[in-house]
Structure 1
């Protein structure tokens, strides 16, 4: 935890979208909520055993393919490839997801109480969080470490050694799909009911047009905060994300705890904690020069297989296991070739004798 920052379980729970959505529905994206059953939660966590990525049987092949135009007939979808694994069944959850997608216009953005599966876009068709069927949604949820964190480790930030379950339990939130230009997203930091900092949300991009309206952005964000959040969200310190759709036209995207659970982006938590509350206006921080302030995407590590990250990061235990695995595979291949050589009949003909 950053020095001087403490987060209570109550504050974390109030930042869950299931807690704040009703009060801010007029200034945020239209959403539907589906309570998660214990069985479905255990399925997402893999508590039923290490069976890999197996979608519920209600998710048909047509759902998996979604909007893909692929006609590659070389891909095998035979049942023989599943090693006899029986797909789980969640008819009520799958039906509820399908109904919500339809009611929200045919495309949605999924998240749980706190996090979205944005670390799992690599597994989705088109590398996007845009979902048009239950299979799209469940595939992202099942593939996401962020989702696993929501379900099992959020309590760590509050000093708890157990899972933090929000009021009403875990829920799947499906939000109407809205195309968002990353240059219009901003993260805003509130300490003791005062807006102290605003950061460009996409730290991997430099958007020169923002520099010319920096003061205007500050004024607009302060107005949005004062008009919509200051006296309505009853937590003294928190972080909120907004999207600028146009001049003085903002939409609330998310609310997060003020602390290590949330990425400070172009700030640091130690810096934010030291900012004086005497300042009248917040500090607005943008990526101003691509060649020295631009930061790599925080999701870059999610695009590699876990094993590659372990090797690159020099995980000694894993490197040793990987070397042993390679040696074992080499020995197996040599043994197979020797077996073939010993069992191959002599086909030499009389003409060559």
Structure 2
């Protein structure tokens, strides 16, 4: 993997090319002071003071009684030290407030590559839906998975020369409460050929996909040929799509091949062995029964960080699950 391949998958790079076939998004370059705020873990967990008086955790984050624990008592020898003022980013907050309004009042945030999925639990509604600057900041500040974007984006690059990108961006994406998780799919491109498609939400069995599988595959293949193949310049990569009720395809994201990207119902080796020559059937995998459900992503650590490499405990677990599924399929076919 090259640095340029990773860079192409940044949302501020790909979104302008695919704006017409993606979901509505507003993108803001973040000041370096805000990035340092996200990285700072030396003091108390404080949200920025909101110029709109919007607090993601009212009476909690800025509660003076709780902040007493961080104040220096008299006679400690540090009398000269004064508590630092809470952070504030008024210009950024105003821009974000305008974007939220233009996107219908609700958004979900994403940095260059990643969304703070691991911190959804801390929001008042348990999702990434945000209506204020404070709610967005809370999700970003509480996320461990965003450390990948901030510090480790190029760790898997063979030509690594950067420790981080020169600039970070915040993408605010329109929140659609009616989106159905079973209609999201990850597509795998190897040598500019679509070689695989996987159900994105692998923790649930959706019977409706058994009925729609052939049609969904055709829709995605046509979309790749018409909208993606000639526009995205990498040879090997993945992209996520959503299939709407009226059978339109929306691009949700692009990711590098391998590294921190999850292969979901595949492994990278078998995907690379699939030549995916034009005219051949793409390997499209869905969870075909309750026995095929994969382990939940809501684990003690972000699912993207789980060690699923060859020989790991998770790798063996997933292989056993695959073997059990194949045995069930063979038994079903023999009985039929």
TM-score bin, normalised by smaller chain:
0.7 to 0.9
| Contact 1:59 1:135 (C-alpha < 8 Å) held by counterparts | no
Against the structure 1 CA distance between its residues 39 and 62, is the aligned structure 2 distance closer, same or farther, given a 3 Å change threshold? Answer: closer
For residues 76 and 158 of structure 1, what CA distance do their matches in structure 2 show? 39
Q: Which residue is 1:225 aligned to? A: 224
For residues 55 and 62 of structure 2, what CA distance do their matches in structure 1 show? 13
Q: Which residue is 2:88 aligned to? A: 89
2:65 paired with 1:80 = yes
For residues 37 and 63 of structure 2, what CA distance do their matches in structure 1 show? 23
Q: Which residue is 1:54 aligned to? A: 46
For residues 10 and 172 of structure 1, what CA distance do their matches in structure 2 show? 20
Consecutive unaligned residues of structure 1, counting only runs of 5 or more, are: 1-6, 67-72, 304-353
Q: What displacement does 1:62 show?
A: 4.0
For residues 260 and 20 of structure 1, what CA distance do their matches in structure 2 show? 19
TM-superposition CA deviations, 1:75-99 (whole Å, max 9, x none): 7963132224531121112222111
Q: Aligned ranges for residues 1-353 of structure 1 at < 5 Å? A: 7-46=1-40, 50-58=42-50, 62-65=54-57, 78-82=63-67, 83-84=70-71, 85=83, 86-159=85-158, 160=160, 162-165=162-165, 169-179=167-177, 180-278=179-277, 280-290=280-290, 292-302=291-301
For residues 277 and 178 of structure 1, what CA distance do their matches in structure 2 show? 33
Q: How many residues align?
A: 285
Consecutive unaligned residues of structure 2, counting only runs of 5 or more, are: 72-82, 303-336
TM-score, scaled to structure 2? 0.80
Q: What displacement does 1:63 show?
A: 2.9
For residues 55 and 100 of structure 2, what CA distance do their matches in structure 1 show? 13
TM-superposition CA deviations, 1:190-244 (whole Å, max 9, x none): 1111100000000001001111121111111101111110111111211010011
| Contact 2:276 2:282 (C-alpha < 8 Å) held by counterparts | no
Structure number with larger C-alpha Rg: 1
The SS at the match of 1:157 is coil
Superposed CA RMSD in Å reads 2.0
Task: Tell me which stretches of 4 or more aligned residues in structure 1 moved more than 6 Å.
Answer: none
